[in-house]
Amino acid sequence: MVTLSLVLLFGFVVVLLLRYRAVSAGAAVASLLFGFYLANTPAAGPINQVMTALVTAIGN
């Protein structure tokens, strides 16, 4: 459930950044592709653990 919530949150942030032209569409696409390919590396597990720990800490 944490993953879906973070996807929605980060998606909303990207939409706001694009809307207010804080980031270009090309940079947003590059970031999206980076995240997509990063998810297929061994770094995905530790990143997911850190984010889960942060969300749990904030929730408590």
- pLDDT tens for 4-59 read 788 888 889 988 998 999 999 999 898 888 888 888 999 999 988 998 899 899 88
Residue 54's domain comprises 2-59
Q: What confidence score (pLDDT) does residue 8 get?
A: 86
Q: What confidence score (pLDDT) does residue 2 get?
A: 64
Q: How many domains does the chain have?
A: 1
**Which pLDDT band, with edges at 50, 70 and 90, does 1 fall under?**
low
In sequence order, what DSSP letters do the residues of 16-55 get, joined into one string? HHHHTTSS-HHHHHHHHHHHHHHTTSTTHHHHHHHHHHHH
